[in-house]
Amino acid sequence: KNQVEQSPQSLIILEGKNCTLQCNYTVSPFSNLRWYKQDTGRGPVSLTIMTFSENTKSNGRYTATLDADTKQSSLHITASQLSDSASYICVLDNYGQNFVFGPGTRLSVLP
């Protein structure tokens, strides 16, 4: 069983709509949970970093939440743009000793 699972695997939405991506994890303990955006063939770009004690972190139109009790995190994207089309990856950082990546959600924003 993967330590970090993401859903949905892929998602198609229309420009301007909101969407929420999910991340479920079993990694424990961990120091922080990160969300990355990765355009095809390019390096990931950090969106948010939340420590295990934080519940929410925003970066512009991106808002990440963390529920340590249910071991779930979500990334909410508001007013989507065509440039949001990318893979979104959830990562658990085990105090810098290891980084466990989720498989990603592939988001396509259509005009």
For residues 94, 87, 44, 50, the Cα torsion angle rounded to the nearest 10 degrees is -40
Near other proteins in 11-30, by CB under 8 A? none
Question: In terms of CB distance, is 18 or 55 closer to other proteins?
Answer: 55
Size of the residue set binding other proteins (CB under 8 A): 23
Decide: is 45 part of the binding site for other proteins (CB under 8 A): yes
Backbone CA torsion sign across 96, 73, 76, 19? positive
Decide: is 49 part of the binding site for other proteins (CB under 8 A): yes
Min CB(17)–other proteins separation in Å: 26
Decide: is 41 part of the binding site for other proteins (CB under 8 A): yes
Min CB(91)–other proteins separation in Å: 8
In contact, 37 and 23? CB cutoff 8 Å: no
In contact, 92 and 33? CB cutoff 8 Å: yes
24: exposed, middle or buried (Cβ count in 10 Å: 0-12, 13-18, 19+): middle
* Residues 65-104 as x/- pattern, contact with other proteins by CB under 8 A: ------------------------x-x-x-xxxxxxxxxx
In contact, 22 and 45? CB cutoff 8 Å: no
Q: Which residues bind other proteins (CB under 8 A)?
A: 31-32, 41-46, 49, 51, 89, 91, 93, 95-104
